[in-house]
Chains A and B, each alone.
Chain A
Amino acid sequence: MIIDNSSTVLSVKNLTASVGETPILKGMNLEVKAGEIHAIMGPNGSGKSTFSKVLAGHPAYEVTGGEIQFQEQNLLELEPEARARSGIFLAFQYPLEIPGVSNLDFLRVAYNSKRKHLGEEELDAFDFDELVQQRLDVVKMDASFLSRSVNEGFSGGEKKRNEILQMALLEPKLAILDETDSGLDIDALRIVAGGVNQLSTAENAIVVITHYQRLLDYIIPDYIHVMANGRIIRTGGKELALALEERGYDWVLEEAAAGAAS
Chain B
Amino acid sequence: MSTQVSLPSEVTLTASEKRAAYLADLLTLAQRSPLSGIDRPWLNELRDHAALRVQEQTFPTQRDEEWRFTDLSALLQTPLEAVKTQKIGTTAIAPFVLPEADQLVFVDGVYAPELSDLTHLPASLIVGNLSALAEQHSDRLQPYLGQQSGANEIFTALNTAGLTDAAILWVPKGVAIDIPIHLLFLSTVSHAALIQPRVLVVAETNSAVTLIEDYGAIGSGSYLTNAVTEIWIADNAEVNHTRVQRDGHHAFHIGKTAVSQARTSRYTCNAVSLGAKLSRHHLEIYQTGAQTETTLNGLTLLHGEQIGDTHSTIALTQPHGTTRQLHKCIIDDKGHAIFNGKVFVPRAAQLTDAGQLNRNLLLSSKARVDTKPQLEIVADNVKCTHGATVGQLEADEVFYLQSRGIDAADARQLLVYAFAYEVIEKIAIASLRRTLSELVQCRSMAVRN
- Give the contacts of A90-132 with B (CB-CB under 8 A): 90, 92, 95-96, 98-101, 106, 109-110, 113-114, 117
The stretch from B116-124, B190-198, B391-399 touching chain A is B391-399
B400 to A96, Cβ gap below 8 A? Answer: yes
> Please, which residue of chain A has its CB at the minimum distance from the CB of B416?
A100
Does any Cβ of A come within 8 Å of B81's Cβ? Answer: no
B399 to A99, Cβ gap below 8 A? Answer: no
Q: Which residues of B contact A110 (CB under 8 A)?
A: 404-406
State A79–B405 Cα separation when bound (angstroms). 10
Q: Which residues of A contact B403 (CB under 8 A)?
A: 56-57, 80-81, 83-84, 89-90, 92
A96 to B397, Cβ gap below 8 A? Answer: yes
Q: Which residues of B contact A56 (CB under 8 A)?
A: 399, 403
State A57–B360 Cα separation when bound (angstroms). 29
Partner of A98, one of B397, B405, B408, B420: B397
B417 to A101, Cβ gap below 8 A? Answer: yes
B404 to A98, Cβ gap below 8 A? Answer: no
Write the A52-93 contact mask toward B (1 if CB under 8 angstroms, else 0): 000011111000000000000000000111011100011010
B408 to A79, Cβ gap below 8 A? Answer: yes
Q: Which residues of B contact A95 (CB under 8 A)?
A: 400
Does any Cβ of B come within 8 Å of A170's Cβ? Answer: yes
A109 to B397, Cβ gap below 8 A? Answer: no
Q: Describe B's contact surface by its main secondary structure.
A: helix
Does any Cβ of A come within 8 Å of B380's Cβ? Answer: no
Q: Which residues of B contact A96 (CB under 8 A)?
A: 396-397, 400
Does any Cβ of A come within 8 Å of B410's Cβ? Answer: yes
Does any Cβ of B come within 8 Å of A166's Cβ? Answer: yes
If A59-B399, A96-B400 touch, does A113 touch B407 (CB 8 Å cutoff)?
yes
State A124–B115 Cα separation when bound (angstroms). 37
A60 to B405, Cβ gap below 8 A? Answer: no
Q: Which residues of A contact B425 (CB under 8 A)?
A: 100
B418 to A114, Cβ gap below 8 A? Answer: no
Smallest CB separation, B396 vs chain A (Å): 7
A113 to B421, Cβ gap below 8 A? Answer: no
If A59-B399, A92-B400 touch, does A81 touch B421 (CB 8 Å cutoff)?
no
A59 to B395, Cβ gap below 8 A? Answer: yes
Write the B374-413 contact mask toward A (1 if CB under 8 angstroms, else 0): 0000000000000000000001110111111111101100
Most chain A CB within 10 A, of B399, B405, B415, is at B405
The bracket for how many chain A residues form the interface is: 20 to 34
Does any Cβ of A come within 8 Å of B98's Cβ? Answer: no
Write the A232-248 contact mask toward B (1 if CB under 8 angstroms, else 0): 00000000000000000
Q: Which residues of B contact A90 (CB under 8 A)?
A: 403
Does any Cβ of A come within 8 Å of B414's Cβ? Answer: yes
Q: Which residues of B contact A99 (CB under 8 A)?
A: 418, 421-422
> Please, which residue of chain A has its CB at the minimum distance from the CB of B425?
A100
State A92–B403 Cα separation when bound (angstroms). 10
Q: Which residues of B contact A80 (CB under 8 A)?
A: 399, 402-403, 408
A58 to B418, Cβ gap below 8 A? Answer: no
> Please, which residue of chain B has its CB at the minimum distance from the CB of A169?
B404
Q: Which residues of A contact B417 (CB under 8 A)?
A: 100-101
Q: Which residues of A contact B406 (CB under 8 A)?
A: 81, 109-110, 113
State A90–B396 Cα separation when bound (angstroms). 13
Does any Cβ of A come within 8 Å of B419's Cβ? Answer: yes
If A58-B399, A96-B400, A100-B425 touch, does A81 touch B418 (CB 8 Å cutoff)?
no
> Please, which residue of chain A has its CB at the minimum distance from the CB of B415?
A98
Partner of B404, one of A59, A117, A149, A166: A166
State A58–B398 Cα separation when bound (angstroms). 10
State A110–B405 Cα separation when bound (angstroms). 6
Partner of B402, one of A81, A114, A170: A81
Smallest CB separation, B402 vs chain A (Å): 4
If A85-B405, A113-B405, A117-B405 touch, does A98 touch B399 (CB 8 Å cutoff)?
no
Smallest CB separation, A85 vs chain B (Å): 5
Q: Which residues of A contact B400 (CB under 8 A)?
A: 92, 95-96, 98
- Mark A residues whose CB is within 8 Å of B: 56-60, 79-81, 83-85, 89-90, 92, 95-96, 98-101, 106, 109-110, 113-114, 117, 149, 166, 170
User: What are the nearest 8 A-B pairs in CB distance?
Assistant: A100-B421, A100-B418, A110-B404, A113-B405, A80-B402, A84-B405, A96-B400, A81-B402
- Mark B residues whose CB is within 8 Å of A: 395-397, 399-408, 410-411, 414-415, 417-422, 425
Q: List 12 A-B contacts (CB under 8 A).
A: A56-B399, A83-B403, A84-B402, A84-B404, A85-B405, A92-B400, A98-B418, A99-B422, A100-B421, A100-B422, A113-B406, A166-B404
> Given A57-B399, A100-B422, A110-B406, 14 more contacts at CB 8 Å?
A56-B399, A59-B395, A59-B399, A60-B395, A79-B408, A80-B408, A83-B403, A84-B402, A85-B405, A89-B403, A96-B396, A109-B414, A110-B405, A170-B405
